Amino acid sequence: MWRRSLLCAACLILTTTAAMAQPAAIQRGSVMISGSASITRAGGDLYESDDGAYTTISVTPSVGFFTRDGTMVGGFLSYTRTSREDGASAYVLGLGPTAAFFMNTNSDVVPFVGGGAKIMTIGGSYGGSPDSETGYGFFVSGGVVFLVGSHLGITAETSYNYDRFSAEGSNAVVTGNIIGFAVGVAGFLN
């Protein structure tokens, strides 16, 4: 009986200590370094044209500073490159400011909402002629950080993006919307 009581007391102390330590990740003065990466290969009758299959690689690192408990401001950089088997390729490079609000739940699951703005450039060569366009956009997002320790978390986030591009030397404007879901990693420095 006393062993069970001792085990329950130890579990209670460890759980309470972990729960009390978790909110430190989103307190004023903390820094969050996060990012996501992906690689996609598309082929087969559905995705190939006469030019063959394509591969897309994407990397998005970001950094944020907690200016108040639960309030983060920062910035991000994103790079995506798509290459086809025929040698044609394209890239999108973007950067911009972000802000997010994290809800202190006193647990290891921390919900958040955020958003930001971005400037982007698209470049590449299809059919031998290089193209480039500049653009801007904004995004809003919401998700959760699953804290797996006082300094590490796994993020799950859904987002809406609006993008607007103009071709260089032209008045043509192209707009688009993206709804996405991403999973990433976040590190917290206190």
Write out the DSSP string of 43-88: -HHHH-BTTB-EEEEEEEEEEEEEEETTEEEEEEEEEEEEEETTS-
Q: What CATH class is the domain 2-189?
A: mainly beta
Confidence of residue 53 (pLDDT cuts 50, 70, 90): confident
Answer yes or no: is pLDDT of 47 > 80.
Answer: no
Domain positions in the chain: 2-189
Residue 129, pLDDT score:
56
CB-based contact 137:160 (threshold 8 Å): no
Residue 5, pLDDT score:
47
Confidence of residue 49 (pLDDT cuts 50, 70, 90): low
CB-based contact 12:5 (threshold 8 Å): no
CA neighbor of 161 nearest in space, from 71, 73, 98: 98
Answer yes or no: is pLDDT of 164 > 70.
Answer: yes
pLDDT in tens, 29-46: 999 999 888 888 887 776
How far from 75 is each of 54, 62, 115, 119, 169, CA to CA, in Å? 30, 6, 11, 12, 30
Taking the C-alpha atoms of residue 8 and residue 12, their distance in angstroms, rounded to an integer, is 6
Tokens representing residue 164 in the block: 């607007």
pLDDT in tens, 102-131: 999 989 999 999 999 999 988 887 655 567
* Mean pLDDT on 145-164: 93
Residue 122, pLDDT score:
85
CA neighbor of 183 nearest in space, from 130, 141, 132: 141
Taking the C-alpha atoms of residue 55 and residue 23, their distance in angstroms, rounded to an integer, is 40
Taking the C-alpha atoms of residue 182 and residue 114, their distance in angstroms, rounded to an integer, is 14
**Which segments of the chain does DSSP mark as H helices, in order?**
2-21, 44-47
Residue 143, pLDDT score:
96
What average pLDDT does the chain have? 82
SS3 30: coil
pLDDT in tens, 54-109: 888 999 999 999 999 999 999 999 999 988 877 778 888 999 999 999 999 989 99
Residue 88, pLDDT score:
79
CA neighbor of 133 nearest in space, from 124, 146, 142, 141: 124
Tokens representing residue 42 in the block: 């598309």
Taking the C-alpha atoms of residue 20 and residue 106, their distance in angstroms, rounded to an integer, is 7
pTM of the complete model: 0.74
Residue 130, pLDDT score:
60
Residue 15, pLDDT score:
42
Answer yes or no: is pLDDT of 3 > 50.
Answer: no
The number of helices, as runs of H, and strands, as runs of E, in the chain is 2, 8
